[in-house]
């Protein structure tokens, strides 16, 4: 196993949304594995789970992770200031989201 990808905080009812999280071991960065995993889990979330919106957060200095989300079609929606406590420090995160293109209003 070289990493993890997960959908968390799945909300049903009027929301039909979830959060995306992932991690890949540094030795395997830059090979496209994370980008492919994101594409696969987004397809699963939209087609099988019928999710409407997937959200993700990434620290501003994690450029590689930002690129993964952008390649997956996610759009930057704004900065969530001091949103996650990591190693005892509150860290800012860019907030990204992707809406299911097959959902009609």
What is the per-residue pLDDT across 19-46, written as a single tens digit (0 to 9) for each? Answer: 999 999 988 888 889 999 999 999 999 9
Query: Tens digit of pLDDT for each residue in 42-63?
Result: 999 999 999 999 999 999 999 9
Alpha carbon distance 83, 56 (integer Å): 12
Residue 31 buriedness (CB in 10 A; 0-12 / 13-18 / 19+): exposed
Query: Tens digit of pLDDT for each residue in 63-95?
Result: 999 999 999 999 999 999 999 999 999 999 999
Q: Please tell me whether the overall predicted TM-score, pTM, comes out greater than 0.85 for this model.
A: yes
Q: In the chain, where are the structural domains located?
A: 3-99
CATH tag for 3-99 (out of 3.90.550.10, 3.40.1710.10, 3.90.79.10, 3.40.630.30): 3.40.630.30
């Amino acid at each position: 196993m070289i990493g993890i990808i997960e959908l968390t905080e799945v909300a049903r009812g009027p929301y039909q949304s979830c959060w995306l999280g992932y991690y890949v071991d540094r030795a395997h960065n830059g090979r496209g594995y994370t980008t492919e995993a994101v594409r696969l889990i987004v397809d699963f979330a939209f087609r099988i789970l019928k999710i409407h919106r997937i959200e993700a957060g990434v620290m501003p200095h994690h450029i590689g992770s930002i690129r993964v989300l952008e390649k997956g079609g996610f759009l930057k929606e704004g900065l969530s200031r001091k949103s996650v406590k990591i190693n005892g420090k509150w860290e800012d995160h860019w907030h990204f989201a992707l809406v299911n293109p097959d959902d009609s209003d």
